[in-house]
Amino acid sequence: MDQPIIELRGVVKSFGPVDVLKGVNFTAYPGKITALVGDNGAGKSTLIKGLAGVQPYDDGEVLFNGEPVNLHTPRDAAHLGIEVVYQDLALCDNLDIVQNMFLGREELAAGTFDEGVMEREAAETLRQLSVRTVKSVRQKVSSLSGGQRQTVAIARSVLKKAKVVILDEPTAALGVAQTAQVLALVKRLAEQGVSVVIISHNLVDVFEVADYISVLYLGQMVASVETSKTTNEDVIGYITGAKTYEGEHA
């Protein structure tokens, strides 16, 4: 098997007396989609906030392409090319698509940005991802549907040349057609070599897109399996604690 781009070994996170991550191992591979599943409160968002550097782990090891790294700040994560698309997306409603896609980029800080270049880059990124439902990149984000917003947020991570894109419940609020669009986008990201980690409560979505499934149960990684080697029923068993995974962790 390929070298993981992300490898977590024994990560621990507590909030006061509450142990939320109890020595978690996790891997993600370039060009592959890993679904992170588990019941409400299992620790999924806490795990990815550690990867994003916004809420550092208390203990444990993080390897990036096999090398130990520190993830103490969001800057550390961004520097490695780890981008997280949060459920609330953090898009600015009053700005248009181009402005949102370039928000916070160094080009802006340096004052060297060029509206025409940004507009072309934004349009080109959406085109590469085969996004055709957005009429104009000068449309205000407030006028976009939930699926289109998700698309803009994901495209922004692509524009940043992310190597790892983590999506926290990207389809939770979407209808059937929009969900299909976002899942197709997720697949294209992986085809371009990006390592994608997707948190989802929807096992139909998970089985449709994921190469690997990692299951958190009360702060412990109870199963990490290849999707093709497991079943919906087994995964539900791991999520609820009704079934114990006996195999090797993928």
Ligand X SMILES: Nc1ncnc2c1ncn2[C@@H]1O[C@H](COP(=O)(O)OP(=O)(O)OP(=O)(O)O)[C@@H](O)[C@H]1O
Chain residues in the site for Mg ion (CB under 5 A): 45
- In the list Mg ion, ligand X, none, the entry touching 228 (Cβ below 5 to 8 angstroms by class) is none
The H or E element that residue 183 is part of is helix 176-191
Please write down the HEC assignment for all residues of 140-162: EHHHCCHHHHHHHHHHHHHHCCC
Angle formed at CA 194 by CA 173 and CA 188, multiple of 5 degrees: 60
Q: Can residue 163 be called a binding residue for ligand X (CB under 6 A)?
A: no
Q: Which is nearer to ligand X, 123 or 221 (CB)?
A: 221
38: partner contacted, choices ligand X, Mg ion, none (Cβ within 5-8 A by kind): ligand X
18 is in the binding site of which of Mg ion, ligand X, none (Cβ under 5 to 8 A by kind)? ligand X
**25, exposed or middle or buried, with CB in 10 Å at 0-12, 13-18, 19+?**
middle
| Cα distance between residue 133 and residue 148, in whole Å | 7
Nearer residue to Mg ion within complex by CB, 45 or 214: 45
Q: Which is nearer to ligand X, 126 or 219 (CB)?
A: 219
β-bridge partners, 224: 214
Question: HEC states along 74-113?
Answer: HHHHHHHCEEEECCCCCCCCCCEHHHHHCCCCHHHHCCCC
- Which one of 8, 20, 91, 182 is in contact with ligand X (CB under 6 A)? 20
Which residue type, as a one-letter code, is found at position 77?
Answer: A
42 touches, from ligand X, Mg ion, none (C-beta below 5 to 8 Å by class): ligand X
Q: Is 15 exposed, middle or buried (0-12, 13-18, 19+ CB in 10 A)?
A: exposed
Residue closer to ligand X, measured from CB, 41 or 193: 41
Stretch that binds ligand X, among 14-22, 63-71, 147-155, 221-229 (CB under 6 A): 14-22
Binding mask 23-62 toward ligand X (x if CB under 6 A, else -) reads: ---------------x-xxxxxxx----------------
Binding site for ligand X (CB under 6 A): 15, 18, 20, 38, 40-46
